[in-house]
């Protein structure tokens, strides 16, 4: 059975092969179309190839010195292209990545585009995935009550969420230039915390950022598995490699979205894991967005002083208005 690394590498190779195939197929279709419209263009290209071959033979001493025919045909062809407004390079494939030409390698090193492909592939191997329509375009403020509430200091739930939405949009738009890259969404279940954090994730992925979404219980399960394999006397190398690859995403990718913090089983081990992830990401100035049903005063009750200090000190906290939107929608549909 292929391990995770082999599966991912095979998928990356498949993506590059598909891109190259598409680039060459588009080129062939483009050339065929131009030749159909301009038969003279085919003649120019055939003459140019023939004269190029003669030039090569001349350079190798196999024929008489080159007569300059290649340059004459080239000038005539360039004039023809200019006259008919045909772009130079029409006969070359337009690769998705102009740096590596969709090979993944540049001077015996991985091209940066490989990281983008890995970003697109790796989340599929995590237990949690983002919902496709959890985007800013689908965020509907009308789902929130417009009536002022004493619990919200005479503001309406809709006004509070309008502010949260604006903050999330600003965060996503200015992510790479922000000093404070950590957000904490606090509120009751069903108030839109997951939806809004995934809106941020989808927007940043569109901008090329690497994003991981995971629920807190699964984050701790994967972290525990990795740590235990690390500490094993003779760990299975394939399992260790897979666990290391997944854990590495938690501490190196641009944005980590942790959902449902507080629903995990709290132990000294989970405390240590959370501190390690948060501290590593903070030291690398990476972004972390956490959603939780916990209120700010509950941080110290649920976690120890170290975590309480980090959540209050390193995160901008946004409270969500009370009330379960899912339950309200269900009641209206009855």
Could you tell me which residue, 21 or 55, shows the higher pLDDT?
A: 21
Q: What is the CATH number of the domain that holds 302?
A: 3.40.50.300
Using pLDDT thresholds of 50, 70 and 90, give the confidence band for residue 63: low
The answer, yes or no, to whether residue 66 has pLDDT greater than 70, is: no
Query: Considering the domain boundaries, does residue 72 fall inside one?
Result: yes
Beta strands (DSSP E) in the chain are 105-106, 109-110, 148-149, 155-156, 182-186, 211-215, 255-261, 287-292, 316-319
Query: Considering the domain boundaries, does residue 70 fall inside one?
Result: yes
Q: Same domain, yes or no, for 109 and 200?
A: no
**Domain count of the chain?**
2
Query: What are φ and ψ of residue 153, in 5° steps?
Result: 60, 50
Q: Same domain, yes or no, for 159 and 201?
A: yes
| Residue owning tokens 């120019």 | 44
Q: To the nearest 10°, the Cα dihedral for 109, 111, 115, 117?
A: -120
The range of the structural domain enclosing residue 224 comes to: 126-333
Query: Considering the domain boundaries, does residue 120 fall inside one?
Result: no
Of 8-12, 20-24, 193-197, the one with minimum mean pLDDT is: 8-12
Using pLDDT thresholds of 50, 70 and 90, give the confidence band for residue 1: very low
Choosing from 68, 88, 115, the residue where a domain stops is 115
Angle at 235 between CA 230 and CA 240, to 5 degrees: 60
Question: What is this structure's pTM?
Answer: 0.73
As a whole number, mean pLDDT of residues 248-273 equals 91
**With DSSP H G I counted as helix, E B as strand and the rest as coil, what are the percentages for the chain, rounded to 5?**
60, 10, 30
Average pLDDT of the chain is 89
At 132 the pLDDT is: 93
Of 140-149, 163-172, 184-193, 321-330, the one with minimum mean pLDDT is: 321-330
Q: Same domain, yes or no, for 150 and 47?
A: no
The answer, yes or no, to whether residue 217 has pLDDT greater than 50, is: yes
Q: Same domain, yes or no, for 101 and 187?
A: no
């Amino acid at each position: 059975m292929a391990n995770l690394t082999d599966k991912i590498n095979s998928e990356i190779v498949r993506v590059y092969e598909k891109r190259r195939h598409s680039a060459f197929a588009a080129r062939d279709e483009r050339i065929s179309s131009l030749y159909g419209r301009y038969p003279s263009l085919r003649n120019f290209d055939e003459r140019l190839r023939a004269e190029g071959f003669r030039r090569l033979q001349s350079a190798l001493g196999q024929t008489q010195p080159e007569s300059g025919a290649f340059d004459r045909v080239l000038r005539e062809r360039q004039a023809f292209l200019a006259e008919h407004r045909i772009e130079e390079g029409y006969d070359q494939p337009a690769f998705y990545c102009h740096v590596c030409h969709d090979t993944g390698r540049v001077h015996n090193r991985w091209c940066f585009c490989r990281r983008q492909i890995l970003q697109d592939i790796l989340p599929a191997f995590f237990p949690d995935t983002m919902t496709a329509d959890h985007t800013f375009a689908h965020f509907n403020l009308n789902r929130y009550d417009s009536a002022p509430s004493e619990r919200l200091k005479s503001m309406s739930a809709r006004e509070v969420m309008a502010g949260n939405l604006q903050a999330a949009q600003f965060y996503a738009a200015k992510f790479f230039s922000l000093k404070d890259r950590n957000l904490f969404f606090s509120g009751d279940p069903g108030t839109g915390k997951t939806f809004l954090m995934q809106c941020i994730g989808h927007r940043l992925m569109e901008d090329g950022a690497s994003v991981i979404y995971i629920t807190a219980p699964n984050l701790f399960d994967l972290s525990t598995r990795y740590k235990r394999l690390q500490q094993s006397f003779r760990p299975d190398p394939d399992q260790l490699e897979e666990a290391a690859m997944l854990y590495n995403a938690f501490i190196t990718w641009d944005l980590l979205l942790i959902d449902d913090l507080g629903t995990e089983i709290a132990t000294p081990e989970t405390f240590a894991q959370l501190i390690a992830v948060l501290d590593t990401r903070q030291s690398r100035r990476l972004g972390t967005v956490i959603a939780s049903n916990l209120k700010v005063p509950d941080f110290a009750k649920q976690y120890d002083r170290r975590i309480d200090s980090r959540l209050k000190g390193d995160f901008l906290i946004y409270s969500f208005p009370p009330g379960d939107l899912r339950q309200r929608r269900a009641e209206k549909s009855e």
